Chain A
């Protein structure tokens, strides 16, 4: 199916464990992003990627690792999960294009609980 998909949709993990959230898009968009959404904070950018093998930090990157070996995939890894990383995680993609309007398309989100 075309679009952007995240997996898993729900995850419960224990403090200290490594967790990887998956994101896959079928549009061949150049740009991909990871956001977290928390009550009282709104959406905050964790990492983004301009192309395969190019990644950069966003506003809240500490405790997270990303990779982008293929254009369509952008996994997010929590190296050692902490309770403060309990959140809803959204992946998004956009096509930079020549125009100014580069709408981002969001996946359905992964609700992660760290106990």
Chain B
């Protein structure tokens, strides 16, 4: 089975940096995904890590340590529009990275204050 933990809520200031952590325990692993979800909207893809290390994409970066079962999403130069829920998800061990369904954490609600 899969168990994914992430903080329920975080607050940060506009222009600052925030790190959202995710830990997972799985019977198999084939990639870790981060999705963003604004209130009342669909989740949208942010990043994917399958190898250890940091993946950078503009203001967003994602890090993975497979040996520790740990990932984080780093958001820089925070903007008010970054207020959303951030979902950590793990792909099953037998697919090409999530194609057989993802297991999601409960999400971290990020509040950006002026």
Interface residues of A (CB under 8 A from B): 30-31, 33, 35, 40-45, 48, 50, 56, 58-59, 90, 94, 96-109
Contacts and interface: CB of A to CB of B under 8 A. Distances in A.
Interface residues of B, number: 26
Contacts of B43: 43, 90, 106
Contacts of A109: 41-42
Main secondary structure of the interface of A (DSSP, over half): loop
Interface stretch (B12-20, B60-68, B72-80, B100-108): B100-108
Interface of B: 30-31, 33, 41-45, 48, 50, 87, 89, 91, 95-107
B100 A31 contact: yes
A94 B87 contact: no
20 contacts: A31-B100, A35-B104, A40-B106, A42-B87, A42-B106, A42-B107, A43-B43, A45-B101, A45-B103, A48-B100, A94-B98, A98-B96, A100-B50, A101-B31, A101-B48, A102-B91, A102-B96, A102-B97, A103-B45, A106-B43
Given A42-B87, A107-B42, A109-B42, A100 B31 contact: yes
